[in-house]
Amino acid sequence: MSVGVLAGKVALVTGAGSGIGRATCRLLARDGAKVIAVDRNLKAAQETVQELGSDRSAALEVDVSSAQSVQSSVAEALKKFQQAPTIVVNSAGITRDGYLLKMPERDYDDVYGVNLKGTFLVTQAYAKAMIEQKLENGTIVNLSSIVAKMNNVGQANYAATKAGVISFTEVASKEFGKFGIRVNCILPGYIDTPMVAVVPDSVKQQVVQRCPLGRLGQPEEIAEVIAFLASPQSSYVNGAAIEVTGGLK
């Protein structure tokens, strides 16, 4: 993406303390946006901000699965740069893998709460803020996963939420188009982040063998596509679900 293309924009990124979220903060800042780094783990979000510089970024502690936490973040986010974010990236996500017959209800609820309900809560709250402030050219990018299509054994909760993110994205794109807000999602393959660090080596080897590019992806390779979707260079891309997997299906 081009340096400076996001100058004057404010971006809010959830899950900004790690992996894809942190890499996204880096690239959106590189492209000129001011960045609000949101995470449940405030220390991790602060580390992201430390890297980017506090003149162009700020950290916020938010639990995206809590309506109250998300709602109270809106006023705080507005104060940070005296402007509502027009770029929102929903990268906060968790896994709680396990076979269905043994999956505790809690593991299902937790994954649903962050991955799907969290995407809903953040999208709703920040789209409202954009609309109320009559800000045009909003862009929201949601993180689905190729697991929404691979439907791996042991990932019923995760796969269901990530499939839900694709449908949610398409509905939101239809409802928000008239406000000049675009909504898209990305389906990453296996990306080398702390989330994948816990995947057994044998599974990672299988993934690498099945992947036409023969390797895991790097978080920056997802962040580049997010930066494109956040920019005016993707002005006619709306309601899309883009696979970024190195060709893994």
Q: Which residues bind ligand NAD (CB under 6 A)?
A: 14-15, 17-21, 39-41, 44, 62-65, 91-94, 114, 118, 143, 145, 188, 190-191, 193-196
Radius of gyration of the chain (CA): 17
Least CB distance from residue 175 to ligand NAD, whole Å?
22
Least CB distance from residue 188 to ligand NAD, whole Å?
4
Active site residue 158: yes
End-to-end CA distance of the chain: 26
By C-beta, is 17 or 138 nearer to ligand NAD? 17
By C-beta, is 120 or 190 nearer to ligand NAD? 190
In the block, residue with structure tokens 């994205």: 169
Least CB distance from residue 180 to ligand NAD, whole Å?
26
Closest CA to 25 of 64, 56, 4: 56
By C-beta, is 92 or 129 nearer to ligand NAD? 92
Catalytic pick from 99, 112, 126, 158?
Answer: 158
Exposed (0-12), middle (13-18) or buried (19+): which is 130, by Cβ within 10 Å?
buried
Tokens read off for 130: 């954009």
DSSP-assigned letters across all residues of 22-58: HHHHHHHHHTT-EEEEEESSHHHHHHHHHHH-TTTEE
In the block, residue with structure tokens 């690239």: 27
State the amino acid at position 200 in one-letter form. P
By C-beta, is 31 or 63 nearer to ligand NAD? 63
- 65 alpha-carbon distance from chain centroid: 14
By C-beta, is 92 or 135 nearer to ligand NAD? 92
Find the helix or strand (DSSP H, E) in which 172 lies: helix 156-176
Strand partners, 36: 12, 58
Residues carrying an active site annotation: 158
